[in-house]
Amino acid sequence: MSIDINKEVSKGTVEQRMVYESGNEMAAYAAHQINYHVMGYFPISPSTEVAQFLDLMKANGQHDIKLIPADGEHGSAGICYGASTAGGRVFNATSANGYLYMLEQMPVQSGTRFPMVMNLVCRSVSGPLNIHGDHSDLYYALNTGWPILMCRDPQAVYDMNIMAIKLAEDPEVRLPVIVASDGYFTSHQKRRVQTFAKREDVHAFVGEAPQNFPHVLDRNNPITVGPYMNEPDYINNCYQQSEAMYRAGEVFDRIQKEYEQLTGREYPILDLYRMEDAEVAVFLMNSSSEIIKDVVDQLREQGIKAGSIAPNMIRPFPAKQIAEALKNVKAVTIGDRADSYGAHGGNMSLEIRAALFTAGYTDTQVISRVYGLGGKDFYAEDGHAFFQMAIDAMNAGKVDVPFDYYGHTAGDPNKKPMRVIEPMKYEDLNTGLITVNKDEETGQLKVKVPPIRQLTKKPKRLAPGHGACPGCGIFSGLELFFKGIEGDIVALFHTGCAMVVTTGYPYSSHKATYIHNLFQSGAATLSGVVEMFWERKRRGELDHLNLPADFTFVMITGDGGMDIGMGPAIGAALRNHKMIILEYDNEGYMNTGAQLSYSTPLGHRTSTSNVGKHQGGKLFHHKDTPQIMAATNIPYVFTGSESLPQDLLKKAAKAQYYAQNEGLVYGKILITCPLNWLSEEQIGQTLIDEAVNSCFFPMYEIENGVTTITYNPEDKNKRIPVGDWLKNMGKTKHLTKPEYADALQSFENEVERRWSRLKARHENAYL
């Protein structure tokens, strides 16, 4: 992070300096100054950068935080909860569906009163998939028992993170705290930000982590964390938690006043702007609340008594303060950046109405509008429109439309998505050139595939025109696999590069039926489709479709999808549904910016396994997914690559046979990612060849538990050292330097160990 060495004179008493950074950078910067003990994390846009910045600082030796990459957000929440029960300071950051995936852990942590700080970088919740900013994830947090601090700009992100840990650990509170900022508005917006110049001043303000509370590492005081609890104890526990939440408002007010003395910056519970004599007002949260202040000034110049309200804290909800601020206001427009579907208003509208009613201030006209969903910008003219609604209500003495959306457009039948490509004909997809027959005596499959040139007329399953990066190996790899599949398919794609670049509404590159679901639910979702197909077929409900043959059901995963999606994939395998799981392995979470995944090999550079004086890339070995899936005893497991096209075609044909006749199939193909491998586009095929010939990515199949190596580079005299592959990629060329010799040796040893075990299994059917 770039630091201006010129210190700025502030209004406070502590030495400060100016930086020019984004909200995500300031969350990371505050965390590194606090020097938390542990951060459990999982990448999801737009919060991913927080972990990235911390990892980069870790590689440079700037903090001691133990960064733990989880298998998914649910796992990251568990890591953080476990770490907090062990008595240290804990930090996390997440967004949107990632937050919802960890949601069941949130009340556990608050209900057992273990503090931590989590940055919620607010983003729209799928579906359909949208990665831009609104408050739909934030509103799920309202009932979890976590105090919630709000950040309107990067300065507030920094300041609130410093105050949040002090609030969480206060003996009157002892609750985990959320720091909420707007995704892509605040998270990626660079602004001038004042920070503490010295880490010791941060520590002096925050104080030492409290030592007088129970934790699980005190052998002289064994405790039970999270016991089963009946009534009346459970209601009493909830009452105590509720009381702590309300005290959090008072404690935060005390903390922010202390902070103001040090820094000159104040964060009252409510940010009131020109509300002293306001007759009309607008309530907005976070980034939009700064824009509305300019509108207030413009209206004041016109003689209109306008004002604005923005909360710096929404849990506990400042009901009394809001009611007091609005008691003389004749009309207020409340903007919610998320809907509470079916409740006739967003959450803030409902809670403000309740606050006014409870306080007896029932003369204020309230207009509720849902706005800015999915990252839709909010401009000054939108602010004028919000005020005009309030002015109209004030003049009329009533609200004509109490609740509505703002900024949406009416549907136009003339602009409905049109079919551009006609459905593929079964006759074209079923070439008859590929045959698979089972030898009844031996049980072995006899597969016949033609030279690939004879399949060139077979239609591609994906149309050209997608938005993949130049040199991306996903689609050439998928199309080669699909060449080996005869007839119709139904494909489910996990979230990931392959999904994102092919389905930007209203366009789609998919020529066959396509379904999308999230990483953690894909295998379960497709298994439901599969079983519905067979059940409806059994009942005769599909007879009218005159299907010439059965569908082949294929789930496409990649970009770390077999990390967060591993559990459901194993569940589907154990149930043995008739489907194929095909993983394209690009060795990272590429769709969110090249973070490490469990398929990233040891020592490889990613944005969360940086290379520096104190760190040399990823710290642990890659997951052997085919062997994990083979352990579930599914009928067929294989690896494949474009470097051996006939081999992959034959395996695709086998996969289809097993998926239609016996059960679940898992396959893994290695594909290139020039952008994030930091390699030249034109050497993609060479890199795949070298990965195979170095035995890093061996070619084999496992049929009903029997392993067969389908390509042995040693037999062909093509075996090369692993280093010959690594030196051609920017993400790994550091491993060939003398200072990383130990890491390279460890990586080579692991590759050789796995290859030797594979050869042993090839030679012995019982292994």
Q: What is the pLDDT of residues 210-249, one digit of tens each?
A: 989 999 999 999 999 999 999 899 999 999 999 999 999 9
pLDDT at residue 293, rounded to an integer: 97
- Beta strand 435-438 with 489-494: parallel, antiparallel or unpaired? unpaired
Mean local confidence (pLDDT), 385-404? 97
Distances from the Cα of 361 to the Cαs of 328, 331, 334, in angstroms? 9, 12, 16
Q: 283 pLDDT exceeds 50?
A: yes
pLDDT, tens digit (0-9, with 9 covering 90-100), for 534-592: 999 999 999 888 887 889 999 999 998 999 999 999 999 999 999 999 999 999 999 99
pTM of the model: 0.93
Mean local confidence (pLDDT), 301-316? 98
pLDDT at residue 183, rounded to an integer: 96
pLDDT at residue 192, rounded to an integer: 97
Q: 423 pLDDT exceeds 90?
A: no
Task: Give me the helix-helix angle, 154-169 and 23-34, nearest 10°.
Answer: 40
Q: 132 pLDDT exceeds 70?
A: yes
pLDDT, tens digit (0-9, with 9 covering 90-100), for 142-155: 999 999 999 999 99
pLDDT at residue 5, rounded to an integer: 43
The rounded mean pLDDT for the chain is 94
pLDDT at residue 3, rounded to an integer: 45
Q: 296 pLDDT exceeds 90?
A: yes
pLDDT, tens digit (0-9, with 9 covering 90-100), for 617-657: 999 999 999 999 999 999 999 999 999 999 999 999 999 99
Burial class (CB in 10 A: 0-12, 13-18, 19+), 414: exposed
pLDDT at residue 126, rounded to an integer: 87
Structure tokens at 598: 């469990």
Q: 9 pLDDT exceeds 70?
A: no
pLDDT, tens digit (0-9, with 9 covering 90-100), for 703-731: 999 999 999 999 999 999 999 999 999 99
Phi, psi of 529 (to 5 degrees): -60, -45
Give the integer Cα–Cα distance in Å for 283 and 287: 12
pLDDT, tens digit (0-9, with 9 covering 90-100), for 430-487: 999 999 999 888 889 999 999 999 999 999 999 888 889 999 999 999 999 999 999 9
Where residue 63 falls among pLDDT bands split at 50, 70, 90? very high
Contact 136, 338 (CB under 8 A): yes
pLDDT at residue 8, rounded to an integer: 52
pLDDT at residue 10, rounded to an integer: 62
Query: What's the sign of the alpha-carbon dihedral 369, 373, 379, 381?
Result: negative
Contact 101, 71 (CB under 8 A): no
Contact 307, 202 (CB under 8 A): no
Q: Edge-to-edge strand order for the sheet containing 270-273?
A: 270-273, 306-311, 280-283, 331-336, 365-370, 403-405
pLDDT, tens digit (0-9, with 9 covering 90-100), for 339-376: 999 999 999 999 999 999 999 999 999 999 999 999 99
Any alpha helices (H) in 471-514, and if so which ranges? 474-483, 497-500
